[in-house]
């Protein structure tokens, strides 16, 4: 039987492929960004995953999330993603946790220092800040997704330190909060595209700010994150 990774190994050495196979990556948030992160990592041959999310697939996810189909509505995103990983690589080791990461929580998936890499693809600012603090204290590799909502340019995403970012509203909030806490740096993926104005959706009890999204933007950010993780693991183990 042919090696399913033969095309990858035309680009990287057998040693590098072995590093990816032996790596274990934790991904927090299996949504529009995180789903594409996991997809690319799995297809590159990452051998271990810990998937953390308490969300289930909903109708509103269909426009942008790689795991979202009508067949899976109502199912936990982590479970759907696990099934997808194993359909690509049956030898992968996949742990799933139906929970959201929140500051101060203790859970079976911690400490994060046990992982080769940690990917933050969550929306909650307080949780992102907590991950950055833990990363500085525990010395684990972390990459964090900044805002992808209300954007239309998939080519605008880039990797940078949080203190070198500009334009992105979420990055601005993160810079302020991390600086106040003495965080020296955080690797992020962000876009300098100005967010577009979108129509407000009227919900019961008033107006609620819901960001607009489209199929190709969150996925582009996820693929950039995956590329950074893969290249870092190849170069630095």
The per-residue pLDDT for range 4-20, each reduced to its tens digit, is 999 999 999 999 999 99
- Which one has a higher pLDDT value, 146 or 203? 146
pLDDT of residue 209: 72
pLDDT of residue 102: 87
Q: Is the pLDDT of residue 206 over 70?
A: no
Encode pLDDT of 108-146 as tens digits: 899 999 999 999 999 999 999 999 999 999 999 999 999
> Which residues lie closer than 8 Å to 205 by C-beta, 6 or more apart?
none
pLDDT of residue 93: 98
> Which residues lie closer than 8 Å to 218 by C-beta, 6 or more apart?
31, 32, 33, 36, 64, 65, 148
> Which residues lie closer than 8 Å to 86 by C-beta, 6 or more apart?
92, 94
Q: What are phi and psi of 24, to 5 degrees?
A: -130, 120
Token code pair at residue 233: 């693991």
Q: Is the pLDDT of residue 1 over 50?
A: no
| Residue 26 half-sphere exposure toward CB, CA atoms < 13 A | 23
Which stretches of the chain are assigned E, i.e. beta strand? 24-28, 48-52, 93-97, 117-120, 142-145, 157-161, 187-191, 201-203, 206-208
Average pLDDT over residues 60-87: 98
Average pLDDT over residues 199-227: 82
pTM: 0.95
Q: Is the pLDDT of residue 218 over 50?
A: yes
pLDDT of residue 103: 83
Kindly give the residue spans of alpha helices, DSSP state H, lying in 46-198: 77-88, 125-138, 169-180
pLDDT of residue 198: 81
Q: Is the pLDDT of residue 60 over 80?
A: yes
CA-based radius of gyration for the chain: 18
100-109, 119-128, 148-157: least confident range = 100-109
Q: Is the pLDDT of residue 95 over 80?
A: yes
Average pLDDT over residues 48-68: 98
In angstroms, the CA 187 to CA 131 distance is 12
Sign of CA dihedral 212, 217, 223, 226: negative
How far does Cα 40 stand from its chain's mean position? 11
CB 29 within 8 A of CB 123: yes
User: What pLDDT band is residue 207 in, cutting at 50, 70 and 90?
Assistant: low
């Amino acid at each position: 039987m042919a090696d399913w990774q033969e095309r990858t190994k035309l680009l990287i050495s057998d040693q590098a492929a072995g590093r990816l196979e032996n790596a274990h990556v934790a991904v927090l948030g299996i949504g529009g960004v995180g789903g594409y992160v996991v997809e690319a990592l799995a297809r590159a041959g990452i051998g271990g995953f810990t998937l953390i999310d308490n969300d289930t697939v909903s109708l509103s996810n269909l426009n942008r999330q790689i795991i979202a189909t009508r067949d899976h509505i109502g199912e936990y995103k982590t479970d759907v993603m696990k099934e997808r990983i194993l359909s690509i690589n049956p030898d992968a080791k996949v742990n799933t946790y139906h929970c959201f990461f929140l500051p101060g929580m203790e859970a079976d998936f911690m400490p994060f220092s046990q992982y080769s890499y940690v990917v933050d693809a969550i929306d909650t600012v307080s949780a992102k800040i907590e991950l950055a603090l833990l990363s500085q204290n525990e010395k684990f590799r972390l990459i964090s997704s900044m805002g992808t909502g209300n954007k239309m340019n998939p080519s605008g995403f880039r990797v940078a330190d949080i203190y070198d970012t500009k334009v992105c509203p979420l990055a601005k909030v993160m810079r302020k909060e991390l600086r106040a806490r003495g965080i020296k740096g955080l690797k992020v993926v962000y876009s300098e595209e100005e967010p577009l104005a979108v129509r407000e959706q009227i919900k019961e009890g008033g107006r609620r700010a819901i960001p607009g999204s489209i199929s190709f933007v969150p996925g582009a950010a996820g693929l950039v994150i995956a590329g950074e993780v893969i290249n870092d693991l190849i170069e630095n183990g």
